[in-house]
Amino acid sequence: MSVSGDTSIIISGIIAESAPLLFAATGEYTAERAGTMNISITAMMLAGTYSGIAFATLAGNLVVGLVAGVAAGLLVAAIHANFSHRLAANTFVVGLTLDALVLGVTDYFSTAFKPGAAKFTPVSVPLLSRIPALGTSLFEQPWPLYLLFLIVPAVWWIVQRTTWGLEVRACGENPGAADATGIRVNVRRRQALYLCGVLSGLGGAFLSLCIVGTFNFDMTAGVGFVVIAAVIFGGWTLRGAVLGALLFGSMSAMGLVLPALGASVNPQLLLALPYLAALLAMVFLAKSHRAPRALAQPFSRGVS
């Protein structure tokens, strides 16, 4: 195989593994800047994977499946947000419970109704898809991938340049002061979680509808913790979260790419590589970067 062909395989593998992480990491960044450590992100993505492929099969329409995946992620986010920020339940307990619940629910429904195969076909971007080595890998992809080019800068602008984004960041830094200025802290935190649910559900639907083309039990395999590690790795900046998602996606892609290139590497090691990298990022970078001061701290009016 030519060097150009090898490069194309590597880049295609990285894109396939990184894209769902990028959707979810963009949402997780928003939730954590608002002060919520969203442990239920795996549940949001898993709900999106099954709902996306199931509704695409039922409706015979891939776009319907994509919308259903987004709706499923939003539903999980709404449950988490209302339990954590309306009923004051422990957000970590709620997140872990939702992860286990959605795993069981999707297993049950996939047994009751096994979705068929459904997959978006690649769409070539004129001119750009002809770039040697990179063109086919980057610009001949299913069209939902191109949404990232709109979503990432849009989320950055919303969080960093709008009044709503300023209020969200204030809720993550000093919710008491934010409340004193009239900001409804828990409302903003819920809204940030809703956005996270939408993007995580979209990432899950992308996994089933654009990469795999079907549904398998626990196909997200705890990837939410890799997403959280990507946000921590990036120092709670969107640019850093994107780079972290690409890094962890690249490591995950090695499990697919290296065997395809003829390399002989222990498959269990390749499978564990992104999780090992995420663990190391959590251990060594969680203290070196400054997190939002009120991250994972519940807020109640009149309680300091």
Range of the domain at 60: 7-123+150-221
Would you say residue 239 lies in a domain? Answer: no
Flag the least confident range among 88-102, 177-191, 218-232: 218-232
What does the alpha-carbon distance between residue 238 and residue 29 come to, in Å, rounded to a whole number? 6
Banded pLDDT at 63 (limits 50, 70, 90): very high
Q: Which among 165, 148, 158 has a CA at the least distance from the CA of 245?
A: 148
pTM attached to this predicted model = 0.91
Would you say residue 12 lies in a domain? Answer: yes
Would you say residue 64 lies in a domain? Answer: yes
The tens digit of pLDDT for each residue in 10-61 reads 787 788 889 999 999 999 999 999 999 999 999 999 999 999 999 999 999 9
Sign of CA dihedral 83, 89, 95, 98: negative
- Listed in sequence order, the residues at least 6 apart from 59 whose beta carbon sits closer than 8 Å to its beta carbon are 65
Would you say residue 31 lies in a domain? Answer: yes
Give the type of residue at 172. Answer: G
Would you say residue 51 lies in a domain? Answer: yes
What does the alpha-carbon distance between residue 258 and residue 9 come to, in Å, rounded to a whole number? 10
Would you say residue 58 lies in a domain? Answer: yes
The pLDDT of 158-167, averaged and rounded, is: 97
Would you say residue 75 lies in a domain? Answer: yes
> H or E element: which one contains 142?
strand 140-142
Number of folded domains that form the chain: 1
The pLDDT of 264-290, averaged and rounded, is: 68
CA dihedral 32→36→42→44, nearest 10 degrees, is -100
> H or E element: which one contains 129?
none
Would you say residue 45 lies in a domain? Answer: yes
- Listed in sequence order, the residues at least 6 apart from 188 whose beta carbon sits closer than 8 Å to its beta carbon are 34, 164, 167, 168, 171, 178
pLDDT attached to residue 1: 47
Q: How far is CA 170 from CA 52, 143, 275, in A?
A: 34, 35, 32
Q: How far is CA 185 from CA 28, 208, 249, in A?
A: 18, 35, 33
